[in-house]
Structure 1
């Protein structure tokens, strides 16, 4: 198998191409929404309280997946990823339209912002595992890492384009127009999901609470007895807790440390998206067998160092964001592909749901804790702390790997 491959080969698949195109539109809307919600939160509270409130929003948008991702895994294996994914998109579209209505009527307040964030958190517990499993159902196995990389690519292009669009939309048309754009962006994806055939063999006959619990524990046992997946999940946990908050607390960092506005925020997140786009293209060109053997700890070293650079020299934040974006997209592609390719087809929904459980649970938890800590010690010091923790973890794992490689193969 060639070492370098066509990075866009999965788009030859008609169903995946349609899904990828519609998802691109939806993700741009989502990043517009994320940017505007964070900026609303920044301006609802004083500077010393904004980071904590943004962290609380991120917590509510992500932490419910800790409870719902494992449940989603069983339901995906039972009823199929397309069914679960379609319902999550319908609920998220309703959430987006309601948010647009509240802003339009001037009724938005902290309670509604937190409530709608919580609703998004619940649906996200079903969305990510169903989306990833759905992709694996519509592309051949040898195309799966490439398809996941292309999805990461559009996610990060959306992260690059969405905040930039949001900044100009606020300046030219006001907040309500940006939220309406997000609400409308769900419609193409819903239509495409209705048109793509559902080839999943649904399980309706043997559905019970006992069977649900048995299947759930079977997935947990599979992951807990696979040393490669355990190591993958440990690294994912650390990055979710201490790496992801870099972008999720960026509104507060931009306002209090970089001393800029929403356009400055859009530029920084845009640079992060450019880096992620380049990283995803590189990963997409690597053949699957080689990809899943790469050491993601090297990426964590670069990310930790970049966070420290941004903290110490705020003027360099856009460049640090570029490096973090490139490494982050590569990190998630490697760990996601490894998890899916090492999982049997009848277990894939559950293993991916546990992957989402760690990612979606760790990211909002870390953002919430670090955001609240930022209220007391300052957001700059929180960034320094998270960068140091990531560096220590990654270097420790690499040092351990080197030491183990020096040990004799056999022991008497």
Structure 2
């Protein structure tokens, strides 16, 4: 039965706290985007402000992964949340005092990005330490479902909040939303886990985590697949504004439709995964996601009808979610606990940086070949990498 993991009080409390916080975070990101436009009326500044919130997650999250493996995870998570509350309160106070110009907003967003980079790895790591082992796949899948739902609901609530309470009121709501996660961390039971030795520098232990990934063939294969899926599968989804405006001439309403379809695809795939407890079924889902993703990406490139593009985008979102969430569950199930923080933080980096990197490469290539041909090339390349890795792997049914 799907969502059996919710019968576990620990996980249910943890998920509820995170859900409240996620909604607040998406609401605030909407408010920050609106404020950056109000302050500058510059799309370039809007992009810079968004980038400031994500770059720390790409570059320094793995360093925090080292600390997670060294420290008590509950204390680390609580410390991160208190820092995030402090940073968000600082943003609120600066705005309330009328001191929040675009440069101050940029500085605040860098701090918020650092706080998120510190908390993101522990959020993923704690799923394994809180959820029952038999329902780990369900727990990770349900997290993905809730994340996709809040990513759609949060911005809508953010728009309502900005209209009703203003930007400052939305900042206050987000600051208070962290209290839900803080409460859940104070009351849930976290299973004890092994820690890495504290000897050696942070860089040494980070490299030790990389060597650990390389030493386990299955983990290395999962990382290669993750990069291919993120860059050449989800990377195409980052170009949806260009497809909506430049290929289908459907405007903002068309973009909203395509984004909603993508969100629906992710949710459907997450629900499918949430009923999975057997390893063999999980491997089948991963194989299907990896095997079909490139086909849907290529289909988007040859789609001349908007409805066909909708079908393609639903397939891209669903297959990439099946593959990426399934692989995360497989990775988490077999990780040595001493390396969990480092490996999960590196995994998070690939899933965040991959789409951005892929979108930048594909966007540059589109100036030469056009967007439709870029999607076809991306789909073919994604299929070649995914099928090639699965064919050579003993972990997947395509292997010999």
- Structure 2 counterpart SS, 1:7: coil
Alpha-carbon contact 1:58-1:367 (below 8 Å) kept? no
In the alignment, structure 1 segments of 5+ residues that lack a partner are 1-5
Against the structure 1 CA distance between its residues 400 and 333, is the aligned structure 2 distance closer, same or farther, given a 3 Å change threshold? closer
Distance 1:402 1:242 in 2: 17
The Cα offsets for residues 322-351 of structure 1, whole Å up to 9 and x where unpaired, read as: 444433432331121122123122222222
Distance 2:269 2:335 in 1: 25
| Alpha-carbon distance, 1:22 to partner | 1.2
Alpha-carbon contact 1:297-1:398 (below 8 Å) kept? yes
Residues paired across the two proteins, number: 391
The residue that corresponds to 2:348 in the other structure is: 356
The residue that corresponds to 2:3 in the other structure is: 8
Among candidates 375, 391, 406, match of residue 379 of structure 2: 391
Among candidates 220, 228, 248, match of residue 238 of structure 1: 228
The residue that corresponds to 1:225 in the other structure is: 215
What's the C-alpha RMSD, in Å, of the aligned pairs?
3.9
Query: Residue 207 in 1 paired to residue 198 in 2?
Result: yes
Within 5 Å, which residues of 2 pair with 1:4-403?
A: 6-41=1-36, 50=43, 53-104=45-96, 107-200=99-192, 207-208=198-199, 210=200, 212-244=202-234, 258-260=250-252, 269-289=259-279, 290-293=281-284, 294-295=286-287, 296-301=289-294, 304-305=297-298, 308=301, 322-366=314-358, 384=372, 387-397=375-385, 400=388
Against the structure 1 CA distance between its residues 351 and 385, is the aligned structure 2 distance closer, same or farther, given a 3 Å change threshold? farther
| Alpha-carbon distance, 1:276 to partner | 2.0
In the alignment, structure 2 segments of 5+ residues that lack a partner are none
Greater RCO, 1 or 2 (C-alpha within 8 Å, sep 6+) = 1
Compute the TM-score of the two structures, normalised by the length of structure 1. 0.78
Moved more, 187-196 or 326-335: 326-335
Compute the TM-score of the two structures, normalised by the length of structure 2. 0.80
Alpha-carbon contact 1:309-1:320 (below 8 Å) kept? no
Against the structure 1 CA distance between its residues 68 and 273, is the aligned structure 2 distance closer, same or farther, given a 3 Å change threshold? same
The Cα offsets for residues 360-385 of structure 1, whole Å up to 9 and x where unpaired, read as: 333444566778x59x959x96x657
Distance 1:164 1:19 in 2: 24
Distance 2:399 2:329 in 1: 31
Distance 2:355 2:85 in 1: 23
